[in-house]
Amino acid sequence: MSNDYIKSNPCHPGEHLRECIRMEGLTVKVAAETVGVSRILLNRILAGEGGVTTKTALALERLGWGKAEFWLNSQVRHDLAQARREAMPAKAPKAERSAEAEGMSG
């Protein structure tokens, strides 16, 4: 597996959503009502702790804040990058790697 995928750190769609809300001059409460989600859910998305669902993506699209595919693809890219990072085996300390290499050579 290429490390390019691991190094990639796509932002959570909540960052894009925060910018949309800011540009509209909305509060989180009003934005949540406008999107049709709870304030708690919107706060979780904005904090990067909750995900954009298909229902939310369609609501954002209806508001003209981007295509539903953009929101869903942003969420998938972010989630996939997170999963790849979590699946990476931890590197052993250098001294331990050197000992393993010596054991393999003889």
Residues 66-75: tens digit of each pLDDT: 999 999 999 9
Show the tokens assigned to 89: 């085996």
Q: Which of 24, 28, 55 is nearest to 42 (CA)?
A: 28
Show the tokens assigned to 77: 């890219």
Q: Return the amino acid letter for 65.
A: W
Count the alpha carbons within 13 Å of 83 in the hemisphere toward its beta carbon. 6
Provide the pLDDT confidence category of residue 3 given band limits of 50, 70 and 90.
low
Chain segment 13-27, per-residue pLDDT in tens: 999 999 999 999 999
- What predicted TM-score, i.e. pTM, was given to this entire model? 0.76
Q: Mind listing the domains of the chain with CATH numbers?
A: 3-105 (1.10.260.40)
Q: Return the amino acid letter for 26.
A: L
